[in-house]
Structure 1
Amino acid sequence: MAEERENTANAPEQDLSEMMRVRREKMDAFRAMGVPPFGHRFEVTDYASALKEKYDYLAEDEEGEEEVRIAGRLMAIRGHGKASFSTLNDRTGNIQVYFKMDVLGEQKYKEEFKRLDIGDIIGIRGVVFKTRRGEVTVRVEDFDLLSKSLRPLPEKFHGLKDVDTRYRQRYLDLMVNHDVREVFRKRTKIIQSIRRYLDTRDFLEVETPVLSTLAGGAAARPFITHHNALDIDLYLRIATELSLKRLIVGGLDRVYEMGRIFRNEGMDVRHNPEFTSIEIYQAFADHRDLMEITEGIVRQAAEDVLGTTKITYQGVEIDLGSVRTISMNDAVREETGKDFLSCQTVDEARAMAREIGVPFEERHGIGGILNAAFEEKVEDGLMQPTFITGHPTEISPLAKRNADDPRITDRFEFFVYGRELANGFTELNDPIDQEQRFMDQLAQREAGDAEAHVMDRDFITALEYGLPPTGGLGIGIDRLVMLLTDSPSIRDVLLFPTMKPLAE
């Protein structure tokens, strides 16, 4: 009967300490033999998945002719006295490896192999063969210890399940949960897809400051830090918008930036204090052009990573190739029967909101109440891809007013599965109007809205030099990755999500 070397799942603390003591004794034994327990460079020429594919043609007990060199972590060791089958994991997956005393030699087998533990990292030189059970396997002719694992893995066969440990110690999560590795491989492919989409359309990727004397470009609370040399407080950016629009003023007609954004706000399955977004700006365009870009980016990413635009997210079938467009007011009217833009006074809008049970704040005007009704009655039900347009001017301080109805702006939000994935608009390029919008935001700030926009005089100065008609767009990269990897929480797509420190 094959015997696994250790089972550490849910091991008591004293057992864990004993296992670690034994591993350190083995480390000392390797040193005494002249074998470095933390080795050096190993030339890798082969990988698990490629070997299994390449040698699948072998018949039972048939072996290949070439030497292979593979390295990875031992994930299982099954002993049979003078021979042992083990599982080696590298960045492409698992492969079975076979240690035999007659091949390695009695001293190498008994003195070195027998001191290996699950979790150790080794380099192997050997020959591929297929077992009688039809499994492609590497017969080990020699091996090097590359890193002795001094801690046992948390679980052996079923992966790491404790969510808190998975997020705090992502290295363990990646080590034992191979599907998690795949999520982050897809994340990289999604980002590469977005960059290709924009680069082929002559957009220029740029970098703008993370630290700023003002926190602008979004309605959010910033993180504050202090610069000692200048003796001033600085803010971690809550958006890249105002910096990127300054570049449009300067003549860089198509720009984008993908990077970390920081907002000092609540945390839930959709929000982390630091997250990745991309903002895109195109001169001589408007919100309709950016809606086309939004749809193109999402569709292309789905096709590049999944091979289809028809996906399933949390059990809901979604077709990313079919997008609906509807105004905010029409969406609310469709759901509740109430037309808020028909209201002549704020009191009329308040009465309408009360009728359908929509909470609002006293500072809200008609536009703010319409937005509250949308968030309360419509947003969560937008399962299929939907562009919501016609956002009230009151809640859109940086968007251009609609030419036919100044109460609303030429703005859109893109929703999938009841979640906002993107936000864009025709940029406000009238410096006089922009200054008044900032003044209105300051009034809201004084009325208690801590997330209202601050006054940015330098940005107004830039607009006074002339901002061409411009369309702008922001996409939440983490939410897009969640959607395309069927991940329920933003923490599942961040390698190192923000966590409250454990008590010592």
Structure 2
Amino acid sequence: MSKQQSPQQPEPHSTLAEIRATRLVKADKLRALGMNPYAYNWISTHQAAALQLEYADLANSGEVDIQVSIAGRIIARRVMGKLAFFSIQDETGTIQLYLNKQQIETGMADIPDAFSHLKQLTDVGDIIGVKGKIARTERGELSVLVTEYVMLTKSLLPLPDKWHGLTDVAKRYRQRYIDTIVNPAVRDTFRKRAQITSGIRRYLEDLDFIEIETPVLQSEAGGADARPFNTYHNTLEMPLYLRIATELHLKRLIVGGFEKVFELGRIFRNEGVSTRHNPEFTSIEVYQAYADYEDMMTLTEGMITTVAQSVLGTLEIDYQGTPISLAAPWRRVTMHEIVLEVTGLDFRSFDSLETAQAAVKDAAIGGCDDVKSLGKLLNEVFEQKCETSLIQPTFVLDYPVEISPLAKPHRSKPGIVERFELFAVGRELANSFSELTDPVDQRERLELQAARKAEGDNEAHDVDEDFLTALEYGMPPTGGLGIGIDRLVMLLCNCASIRDAIAFPLLKPEQSDEQSEDA
């Protein structure tokens, strides 16, 4: 078999419009030959990765007397006289096609000059189906010795230059379909994401939890401090919100007699965009009757370690160059303890807000002058100075009541609620409470939140009277848990930005022509 030549280079001096026009002409020529450039189907016997694995031991220059049928996108073409070498890519990987004029024109005798048409009318980006035997070239490349080919889809636009790839980050997110063609690692991330979400569901279902969908359109936003998206129902003539959490409806189900429920779905918050925030994101919320936040810690640790081991095959991972151990048990530390450890400030020793603010100022921690309670000041110091230090998985326990309106008061610590957040690589991954079940206490807290809204707080909400009515019928002791799926995927798949963990992140419209020269 002949030595491979250098890959065919893209048309460097042609505009996208010129390339598209040329390829449309090729599509018309295929039709004239009776070859539909947009086929209806194709039956494959194998995929690329399976062939590479099955024939990994095939010797150089060896052949296997077996017919295979495979389809994929052309990602490279090398043509020289009566021979051509294409590389095609399917969902699983790549494989080489060995194209010989004599073999193809024998196998496709009903189409005169089939080999010439293959050379002249195909381009990088086209999707083709082929049949032939398996062989390994003299240079060691596993190949399909093609006897028949079919154009399945004629590509009208070129792929990015092989040597430079799709390097524009915004274009990668905006045109994810190109990103996933040219970057196999991106496809791998979304494949793992699917495995992570299915693994979470399987773990919970094995523990007898059931998933029940709750409304996305809600008359009252609630369950979190977050600014909602507003919409309007024309027929009902009523304003509505996109949900900012699934919490209050899942708790209604606990009131109604379900003991283990969850929902994994989309949440919408009309807030800023950053490397760890997207206005539309995925979370899972889990509620278990007769459980508390200690039970939820055990559940969280077990679920994440089980899923990580299943998807990654290890609990020792690398995140952006930092080794992370997911092996249990994870560290547990109270908010007071971690603030004291990192800053030297012991909030339990302060007898007033003024004393605490003076100490915080002496510690050169700014932006706290307008904080109006000791608990909120503690949380502000924690967020500024401690979160980024929590690299290994860490449960931070026992939060101030002022920032936890849906959590049950701590059974032995005044001013504190039974709440934890899970941190890793300096960011929050999960949030959990021993859920507040006292309807009188809950009303007082929601009314305080409504007062904040009346004062102009865009993240505060009105009192949800129906939810309070449900609590008055009686909700059993309950542990609740919320996990940000996108951030968990970021950790397990080594994504630097949340946009790398979301297939189609929200972006501003392009200001320039969408079809730029490097598309």
Given the two structures, how large is their TM-score scaled by the length of structure 2? 0.94
**Residue in 2 that maps onto 1:7:** 10
Distance 1:410 1:342 in 2: 21
Match of 1:127 among 115, 133, 149: 133
1:428 offset after TM fit, Å?
A: 0.1
**Residue in 2 that maps onto 1:360:** 368
The 5 Å alignment of 1:98-247 reads: 98-105=98-105, 107-247=113-253
Distance 1:291 1:247 in 2: 22
Distance 2:15 2:459 in 1: 51
**Residue in 2 that maps onto 1:439:** 447
Distance 1:446 1:232 in 2: 20
Code of the residue aligned with 1:194 in structure 2: it is I
Greater CA drift, 245-254 or 100-109: 100-109
CA contact (8 A) 1:393 1:406 kept: no
Distance 1:343 1:440 in 2: 25
CA contact (8 A) 1:117 1:149 kept: yes
- Specify the SS of the correspondent of 1:410: strand
**Alignment partner of 1:485 is 2:493:** yes
Deviations 1:239-273 (A, max 9, x none): 00000000000011000000000000000000000
The 5 Å alignment of 1:293-372 reads: 293-322=299-328, 323-356=330-363, 357-360=365-368, 362=370, 364-372=372-380
Deviations 1:104-144 (A, max 9, x none): 11611012443111110011111101111122100110011
1:363 offset after TM fit, Å?
A: 5.1
CA contact (8 A) 1:328 1:374 kept: yes
Code of the residue aligned with 1:7 in structure 2: it is P
Aligned-pair identity in percent equals 50
Deviations 1:56-115 (A, max 9, x none): 232222211111000010000101110101101001100001111001116110124431
- Specify the SS of the correspondent of 1:429: coil
- In the TM superposition, structure 1's runs of 4+ consecutive aligned residues that sit over 3 Å from their partners are 3-6
- Specify the SS of the correspondent of 2:420: strand
Match of 1:499 among 497, 504, 507: 507
1:431 offset after TM fit, Å?
A: 0.1
CA contact (8 A) 2:357 2:369 kept: no
Do the aligned partners of residues 81 and 265 (structure 1) sit closer, same or farther apart at CA in structure 2, a change above 3 Å counting? same
1:50 offset after TM fit, Å?
A: 0.7
- Specify the SS of the correspondent of 1:42: coil
**Alignment partner of 1:84 is 2:84:** yes
Code of the residue aligned with 1:72 in structure 2: it is G
CA contact (8 A) 1:5 1:117 kept: no
Distance 2:212 2:401 in 1: 29
1:189 offset after TM fit, Å?
A: 1.0
**Residue in 2 that maps onto 1:426:** 434
The 5 Å alignment of 1:398-409 reads: 398-409=406-417
Code of the residue aligned with 1:16 in structure 2: it is L
Deviations 1:457-481 (A, max 9, x none): 1111000000000000000000000
- Specify the SS of the correspondent of 1:65: strand
- Specify the SS of the correspondent of 1:458: helix
Distance 1:406 1:309 in 2: 37
- Specify the SS of the correspondent of 1:34: coil
The 5 Å alignment of 1:17-36 reads: 17-36=17-36
Deviations 1:150-208 (A, max 9, x none): 11112224432211111000000001111111111111111111111101100001100
1:353 offset after TM fit, Å?
A: 2.2
CA contact (8 A) 1:217 1:453 kept: no
**Residue in 1 that maps onto 2:386:** 378
Distance 1:442 1:200 in 2: 40
**Residue in 2 that maps onto 1:74:** 74
Structure 2 gap ranges (5+): 106-111, 513-519
Code of the residue aligned with 1:486 in structure 2: it is N
CA contact (8 A) 2:269 2:280 kept: yes
Given the two structures, how large is their TM-score scaled by the length of structure 1? 0.97
Distance 1:382 1:363 in 2: 24
**Residue in 1 that maps onto 2:54:** 54
Distance 2:55 2:120 in 1: 28
CA contact (8 A) 1:206 1:256 kept: yes
Do the aligned partners of residues 113 and 142 (structure 1) sit closer, same or farther apart at CA in structure 2, a change above 3 Å counting? farther
Code of the residue aligned with 2:130 in structure 1: it is I
CA contact (8 A) 1:67 1:126 kept: yes
1:427 offset after TM fit, Å?
A: 0.1
Deviations 1:23-55 (A, max 9, x none): 111111111112111111111111101111112
Distance 2:60 2:248 in 1: 65
May I ask how many residue pairs the two structures share in their alignment? Answer: 501
CA contact (8 A) 2:79 2:119 kept: no
Distance 1:128 1:371 in 2: 64
1:296 offset after TM fit, Å?
A: 1.0
Code of the residue aligned with 1:74 in structure 2: it is I
Distance 2:444 2:146 in 1: 75
1:20 offset after TM fit, Å?
A: 1.8
Code of the residue aligned with 1:82 in structure 2: it is K
CA contact (8 A) 1:363 1:444 kept: no
CA contact (8 A) 2:233 2:240 kept: yes
CA contact (8 A) 2:449 2:460 kept: yes
- Specify the SS of the correspondent of 1:409: strand
**Alignment partner of 1:41 is 2:49:** no
